């Protein structure tokens, strides 16, 4: 069951930070397996968006110099 959920995960979520965070979150969370996977996907999506915004802002200010 645990291995199957890993293989079904979309390829864009296999970034190292989301992968390690997901496994720890599922391991420590006492809720159902599906709930922890959903929260994990939302967390990794949020982190990915924040990193993208930071990188784009940095490039924008770097080009203005």
Domain assignment present for residue 25? The answer is no
pTM tops 0.95, yes or no: no
Number of domains within the chain: 1
Q: How many angstroms separate the CA atoms of 19 and 17, rounded?
A: 6
With bands split at pLDDT 50, 70 and 90, how would you rate the model's confidence at 64? confident
Q: 65: domain range?
A: 31-65
Place of tokens 């709930």: 35
Give the per-residue pLDDT at 12.
44
Q: Give the number of other Cβ atoms within 10 Å of residue 40's Cβ.
A: 21
Domain assignment present for residue 63? The answer is yes
Domain assignment present for residue 7? The answer is no
Give the per-residue pLDDT at 54.
92
Give the per-residue pLDDT at 37.
72
Domain assignment present for residue 1? The answer is no
By the 8 A CB rule, do 7 and 18 touch? no
**What's phi and psi for 20, nearest 5 deg?**
-65, -40
Domain assignment present for residue 10? The answer is no
* Model confidence pLDDT, tens digit, residues 2-61: 444 444 544 444 444 444 455 554 445 455 566 667 777 888 889 889 999 999 999 888
Domain assignment present for residue 20? The answer is no
CA quadruple 30, 11, 6, 46: dihedral, nearest 10: -10
């Amino acid at each position: 069951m645990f291995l199957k959920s890993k293989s079904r995960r979309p390829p864009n979520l296999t970034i190292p930070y989301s992968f390690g965070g997901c496994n720890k979150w599922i391991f420590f969370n006492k809720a159902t397996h599906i709930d922890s996977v959903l929260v994990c996907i939302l967390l990794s999506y949020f982190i990915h968006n924040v990193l993208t915004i930071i990188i784009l802002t940095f490039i924008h200010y770097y080009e203005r110099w």
